[in-house]
DNA sequence: CTCTTATTGATAATGATTTCCATTCTTAAT
DNA sequence: ATTAAGAATGGAAATCATTATCAATAAGAG
């Protein structure tokens, strides 16, 4: 019995095909879960959510798909220090916009932070430009996290 | 046969005692390795280096000690995406000064980057101040990494 | 519809980090 | 210097997230 499938082509189908990947039910389910969540989900959390709709999908496929998505740049893979990778849809058609993270070292809460100051963005670009000159390092991305205590934990 | 021990009190002894920890040969060896290295060492790499002088020290002790040191703030624990934690002496009496990292996504080389622009430091402080007001998040530390291609890999 | 082969899921394997626990060593008090 | 209390250690076993295998299945081009 083939899985129930959404007929309508999704925003990512083109990009997926372009890379030579096939559109499959597990992949649709995983992207569906990711696009409907505001959290930073682990592979197992995604597995559990997908599992409620498609019990047939295995954890292995979750890992495999996440790997593909991360390599394609559709999702970001993070390490927040809880010994498991966490994933989040990257910026794009359906993704939230670029942001940084505040991490509470006490309760491990992750807070998205996107209200950058203009200067903040400007300086970041300036810095990347500087890195190119000083180290001849061509930066394509950056990771910025602040560690400290959240409102509740102070 | 007790291990050979350096009699002279080291810079970190006081801080160590203050936390109620004992000064032991394995701990001295580990801090010695860390302070003599410019790299971002993994637990096993440290184990191997320590092992050449003190074959009796076990890998378990390396992990335990690194955990203590990280909690005390004497070292930083990093994840550079190669599925093992990497450690580096933090700033301080014998540590190098605060810096950020450039990570080559092709050859995995890690480059320390410390020549900040004045504005860069100023803005960072400003940002942390802003986070306190907007999110009531008291930042005590930050992690900044740039991903891209190093000189050789472009 | 048919065929090629990418994809999948169950299971086993991996590998870094932890847990256990009996033994050893550090250190404060004699 | 001796002693005693318990912190620290190391080797082996256990965890646990992530990968590798491989036979079975299903996507999609023709
Ligand atoms: Mn986020
Ligand atoms: Mn460094
Ligand atoms: Zn908190
Ligand atoms: Zn490189």
Digit-coded pLDDT (tens) for A92-124: 777 788 999 999 998 899 999 988 777 788 888
Give B-chain residues touching A121 at CB under 8 angstroms: none
Q: Based on the fold, state whether residues A63 and A90 are members of the same structural domain.
A: yes
Contact A150, A109 (CB under 8 A): yes
Strands B100-104 and B138-149: parallel
Residue A143 main-chain phi, psi, to 5 deg: -125, 120
Task: HSE, CB side, 13 Å, CA atoms: give it for residue A72.
Answer: 20
**pLDDT > 90? residue B69:** yes
A80 CB inside 7 Å of strand D = no
Asked if strand D contacts A7 at the CB level, meaning under 7 A, the answer is no
If you average pLDDT over residues B122-129, what whole number do you get? Answer: 89
A120 and A59: one domain?
A: no
Co-location of B31 and B87 in the same domain: yes
CA distances from A27 to A21, A39, A50, A78 (A): 10, 19, 10, 20
Contact between A102 and A146 (Cβ < 8 Å) = yes
Q: What is the mean pLDDT of residues B47-71?
A: 97
User: Which of the four pLDDT bands, split at 50, 70 and 90, describes residue A3?
Assistant: low
B60 and B109 both lie in a single domain: no
Q: Give the three-class secondary structure for B55.
A: coil
CB within 8 Å of chain A, chain B residues 50-79: 79
pLDDT-derived band at B94, boundaries 50, 70, 90: confident
CATH number of the domain to which A83 belongs: 1.10.10.10
pLDDT at B116: 80
Q: Using the predicted structure, report yes or no on whether residue B115 has a pLDDT greater than 70.
A: yes
User: Domain check: are B42 and B24 in the same one?
Assistant: yes
The Cα–Cα gap between A115 and A121 comes to 10
Half-sphere exposure of B21 (CA within 13 A, CB side): 19
- What is the pLDDT at residue B66? 98
Give the full edge-to-edge strand order of the sheet including A138-149.
A110-113, A100-104, A138-149, B138-149, B100-104, B110-113
**Quick one: tokens of B134?**
């907007």
- pLDDT score at B122: 86
Q: Domain range for residue B121?
A: 98-154
Residue at which a domain ends, from B71, B94, B117:
B94
Q: Are B94 and B11 in contact (CB under 8 A)?
A: yes
Work out how many domains chain A is built from and give that number. 2
Q: Are residues A71 and A117 in the same domain?
A: no
Say how far apart CA B30 and CA B47 lie, in whole Å. Answer: 8
pLDDT at residue B26 greater than cutoff 70: yes
Give the pLDDT of residue B148: 95
Q: CB within 5 A of ion ligand 4: which residues? A: B 104, 106-107, 109, 150, 153
Q: Which nucleotide's C1' atom has the smallest distance to the CA of A65? A: C7
The answer, yes or no, to whether residue B1 has pLDDT greater than 60, is no
Residue with the larger pLDDT of the pair B121 and B7: B121
Q: Which residues contact B5 (CB under 8 A, 6 or more apart)?
A: B25, B28
Q: Cα(A113) to centroid of ligand 1, in Å?
A: 8
- Domain final position from A49, A73, A94: A94
**Mean pLDDT value across chain B:** 92
Verify whether the Cβ–Cβ distance B142 to A143 is below 8 Å. no
In chain B, the percentage of residues whose pLDDT exceeds 70 is: 95
pLDDT band at B2 (very low <50, low <70, confident <90, very high): low
The two structure tokens encoding residue A117: 């100051």
When CB atoms are compared, the residue of B102, B126, B131 closest to A131 is B102
Chain A residue with minimum CA distance to B112: A135
DSSP character at residue A106:
T
Residue A51 burial by Cβ neighbours in a 10 Å radius (0-12, 13-18, 19+): middle
Average pLDDT of chain A? 92
Q: Same domain for B108 and B86?
A: no
Answer yes or no: is A44 CB < 7 A from strand D.
Answer: yes
């Amino acid at each position: 019995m083939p899985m129930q499938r959404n007929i309508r082509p999704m925003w990512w189908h083109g990009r997926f095909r372009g890379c030579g990947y096939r559109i499959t039910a597990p992949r649709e389910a995983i992207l569906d879960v990711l696009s409907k969540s505001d959290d930073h989900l682990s592979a197992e959390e995604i597995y559990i959510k997908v599992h409620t709709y498609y019990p047939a999908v295995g954890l292995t496929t979750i890992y495999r798909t996440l790997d593909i998505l991360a390599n394609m740049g559709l999702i970001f893979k993070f390490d927040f220090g809880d010994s498991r990778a966490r994933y989040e849809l990257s910026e794009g058609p359906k993704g939230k916009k670029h942001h940084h993270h505040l991490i509470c070292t006490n309760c491990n809460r992750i807070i998205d932070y996107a209200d950058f100051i203009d200067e903040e963005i400007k300086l970041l670009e300036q810095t990347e430009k500087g890195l190119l000159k000083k180290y001849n390092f061509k930066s394509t991305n950056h990771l910025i996290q602040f560690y400290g205590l959240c409102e509740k934990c102070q």
